[in-house]
Chain A
């Protein structure tokens, strides 16, 4: 599903250049649930953003579902983001003046689906994350866990091949984190490929594979025995 080879990324700030990713090689197969760990500043978010086509690498190759992602024009990039990728952010990134349902329906708007179908599908995914009764609520009327579940529903709405989550539980308490992880595990069980960036070892243990980053390099990549989130709730 994802193949990256020798990926490099530097940030230029003024005259300085900060080499963040120093040659990353790794593959993710369809249906995997991978966590990316590492200390703060090790380049986890940078890697995930490149995988999500929110940012571009300086060097190296990236193939998503057999398609090389390189020098794409903005139109194609937008289509890939829309069809192949779903994002879940630590800070939720919901549009604050749209209610839960409209937020979930937004990627479908960019797929040019008719309004009625958008709403039906949005409702379906809200049900799936257990928030059907909150469809009309604005983000600021929801708790952090609820917001993240809306964000998950939104990421799922466009039926992407890969879900990318950057510290999805970073802003949540333990109990809520596990609920969110349970949701993510469920989605993975349905066969969807998911990458989760996290700080927390217990969250990482709930995935099937842990990739450890240090100073822009992968230092460890191991399969784990997945702990079901539900057993902890």
Chain B
């Protein structure tokens, strides 16, 4: 059935029946093309939203205090609540078993940083050694803060990639001295990169203890962050994380005597809970796209089937002639199937390539924080193509077989 002769016969038939060839090809092309684009965008949204999370660890709990906005138990609103080292130690002790990483920070904005003639204004953060993991940072060169830095109040600094480019250009910053706020020298010991991008890389980390000393902050800290030990089960981890952040919240409200609903006074953020919502959203988006995608495939199948039915109907008389001239039923069925499969496969492949190409061309134009790397999944596209080919073949097979088996005289009578 699949010899050169029958291919020649089919190419000739296709060449001489351009419209019908084009119609079949186009509906398959369009189906696959739309599917690839859809899939690309679905993946792009997923990538974009997930990357929003990657800037920090997803299992993060961050704790901040501010100014009370409500009176409570005889206390006036407007009190400034200040976290101290003692609070940090206290919480560490209380929630030890659920804590993976921990850090307390003391940070100042708009700190002036000088290196030789270069200077810039950056956020300076005093932090603990675990900060790196909580912020999802990785080292480009050198090291992050360590326990010794904190104990000895070392004047060492870890700078962001962006800062390195601003101040050092091509120079290797490791071991170089920089000056903070025009009065203290720090030695650069590491460069980090942050998935949050250049904004997050325009920071500089120094040991918390050093920061408290240099900025005359005493025991003050601005924020505390933890990551929660993840259990295998995501929902269980979310539950642990939520319970822990509520307990911390309660603990601090008791400690500072704060109204239970005063959010700006004590603020405990639980990323994992947010993450769960976002993952739920991503799932929904994915389902929606799949729904549309499957709809497109079904429309494609219906389209191809329809065209095949029409083609067979239109060719009934020709089939009668061929049978009168001695064509076997299997040759008739084979001819129609071979043509259907060939057209579907080629046009589907072109649709796939066109889709991939358009995604490639389009992705720099449409990329935003929430849409990144819109790429189609090759395996899924090929599977879809296969489904369409099988559907097209099947849709052609039924009427072709029927036509191939009717009496030649009946086929010939068809007008």
On A, residues with C-beta under 8 Å from B are 49, 52, 54-56, 74-75, 78-79, 81-83, 87, 89, 93-95, 97-98, 102, 106-107, 109-112, 114-115, 154, 158
Give B contacts to A, CB under 8 Å: 5, 8-9, 12-13, 16-17, 317-318, 320-329, 331, 405, 407-409, 412
Of the residues A56, A83, A115, contact of B5 by C-beta under 8 Å? A115
Question: Which one, B13, B329, B331, B407, contacts A54 given CB within 8 A?
Answer: B407
CA distance A107 to B327 in the complex (A): 8
CA distance A115 to B12 in the complex (A): 13
Do A54 and B321 touch (CB < 8 A)?
Answer: no
Query: Are B329 and A109 in touch, CB under 8 angstroms?
Result: no
- Chain A residues whose C-beta falls within 8 Å of the C-beta of B9 in the assembled complex: 109
| Contact yes or no, A97 B17, CB < 8 A | yes
B411 CB → nearest A CB, Å:
9
Say yes or no: A106-B322 contact (C-beta < 8 A), given A54-B408, A55-B407: yes
**Structural contact, A54 and B326, CB atoms closer than 8 A:** no
Asked if B412 and A54 make an inter-chain contact with CB atoms under 8 angstroms apart, the answer reads: yes
Majority DSSP secondary structure for residues of B touching A: helix
Contact A93 B13 (CB under 8 A): no
Contact indicator A111/B13 (Cβ below 8 Å): no
A54 surroundings in chain B (CB, below 8 A): 324, 407-409, 412
B325 touches A82 (CB 8 A): yes
Q: Which residues of A contact B8 (CB under 8 A)?
A: 115
Q: How far is the CA of A89 from the CA of B409 in the complex (A)?
A: 11
Neighbouring B residues of A111 by C-beta, 8 Å = 326
Residues of B within 8 A of A97 (CB): 13, 16-17
Question: Which residues does chain A contribute within 8 Å of B13, judged by CB atoms?
Answer: 97
**Smallest Cβ distance from B278 to chain A, in angstroms?**
58
Q: Which has the most chain B C-beta neighbours within 10 Å: A74, A107, A114, A154? A: A74
Given the complex, which residues of A lie within 8 Å of B325, measured CB to CB?
Answer: 81-82, 87, 106-107, 110, 154, 158
The answer, among A82, A93, A112, for a CB contact under 8 Å with B321, is A93
Of the residues B5, B17, B320, B329, contact of A78 by C-beta under 8 Å: B329
* Of B320, B322, B328, B412, the contact of A74 (CB 8 Å cutoff): B328
- Across the interface, B412 reaches (CB within 8 A) one of A56, A93, A115, A154, namely A93
List the A residue with the shortest CB-CB distance to B328.
A78
On chain A, the residues within 8 Å of B331 by CB distance are: 110
**Closest 5 pairs between A and B when the two form their complex, measured CB to CB:** A82-B326, A97-B16, A54-B409, A110-B326, A107-B325
* Nearest CB in chain A to that of B411: its residue: A54
